[in-house]
Structure 1
Amino acid sequence: MTEKQKRFADEYLIDLNATRAYKAAYPNVKKDSVAAQAASRMLRNVKVKSYIDERMEEIKTDKTANAQEVLEYLTAVMRNEITEEVVVVESIGDFQTKAKTIEKDCSVKDRNKAAELLGKRYRLFVDKVESDVNQVVIFEGENELED
């Protein structure tokens, strides 16, 4: 893979805009239409595609929470196992105050929201809707006599 192809791939990974990435890697290309076509060909290049796939996998595993992490976090919030730091202002006398941070439990509102999100995930809040559908279907021309 050439240095410019690598630069294109790295630029592409920033915002997944192939046209912009191509113009950044190849500054002599000025027209968007030319850059878009060339970028499309570049994305089909086997070496470039495999490099982008590898980098995407690295980014995904390092920085993106998976479903299990999200469920564990929501469960911990719902069970009030997580605390948060908040800044409070406390009076120290003579109309003077001092800011300090304290650990605080999650609010009931946050715990309820976590429980709601978990409930949606496990389909606990499915609304039951009863419907009585009696509809007449008429097919035109079905009972007409043929000549």
Structure 2
Amino acid sequence: MKLTVKQQKFADNYIKSGNATQSAIDAGYSKHTSRSIGQENLTKPDIKNYIKDNLVKIESHKIMDATEALQLLTSIARGETKETVISSTPFGTTEDEKTADLKTRISAMKEILKRYPSSDKLMSAKIRKLEAEADVAEQKARDARIGGQDVGKQFDKMFERLKEDSDK
């Protein structure tokens, strides 16, 4: 059975608000009988099914599917997705858009590769190289924050160690 215009308005309002009485009033039912009409409408099979079907549609749009997840991971790995970074300065705050750092991009690539397993040694080597570069950059930043030390010498030593490890 098809819903009447009032019943459909009631159901649509109920889906939005979850309030049967107000939904009945908004659909055009009398204020005096809106409470009982609202409760009665919720027991009618056609209205119940309409509400249930539409709630399922709404919920399915809120849940990310595998394709969406892979698309997001890919855009992060490629550096296409930007995030807003808010920084505090002596003159106030600034908002900057920045791409994900190397570690985040590598993590996104790993997540993608988990879904497409392969024994591609070249890809593994590239990932190891990127990870080493990210570790070097992170250590360099840490050393620079510490201050008072010769960052260049530490960087050279660390880079040589990483190079030796990657050659093994």
Normalising by structure 2, we get a TM-score of 0.41
Greater share of residues in helix: 2
TM-score for both structures, normalised by structure 1: 0.47
